[in-house]
A = this chain, B = another copy of it.
Amino acid sequence: MGKRKENSTNLHNEKAIVGRCDLTYAVCMIGGRWKLLILCKLENGKLRFSELRDKINGITERMLTLQLRELEKEGLVKRTVYAEVPPRVDYELTKIATELLPIWGQLSNWGAKHRKFMKNQL
């Protein structure tokens, strides 16, 4: 997002953990505040910047841009720019990102179950 400081313990720890653990690596990849939401919106096909912005309640253009840029770097979304005026850009999931979908389904089910479970604890 902003650039990170080289030589911080923080960065060092993160690298050490992510470097060893594929699970943490995978989870870090989708760890930003809005990333999962963005990816979910793209499940059914391409969307342009403004469509994403309008579908995601509360996100600012800055945040949308930042998270899309990261997702792009990570190879999870593909960005296509059309040479038009006014500009048009669209985003879609990459192949490897779509392979996450079934896993998300399961995680999501688990989440729903956990949520109910916690409610009953009150």
Q: Which residues of A pack against B, CB within 8 Å?
A: 12-14, 16-17, 21-27, 29-31, 33-34, 36-37, 40, 57-58, 74-75, 96, 99-100, 103-104, 106-115, 117-118, 121
Main SS class of interface, A: helix
New A-B pairs, 12, CB < 8 Å, besides A27-B31, A99-B110: A13-B58, A22-B107, A22-B108, A23-B104, A23-B111, A24-B36, A25-B115, A27-B36, A31-B31, A75-B121, A99-B113, A100-B110
Residues of B within 8 A of A113 (CB): 96, 99
Residues of B within 8 A of A57 (CB): 16
By beta carbon, the residue of chain B nearest A63 is: B13
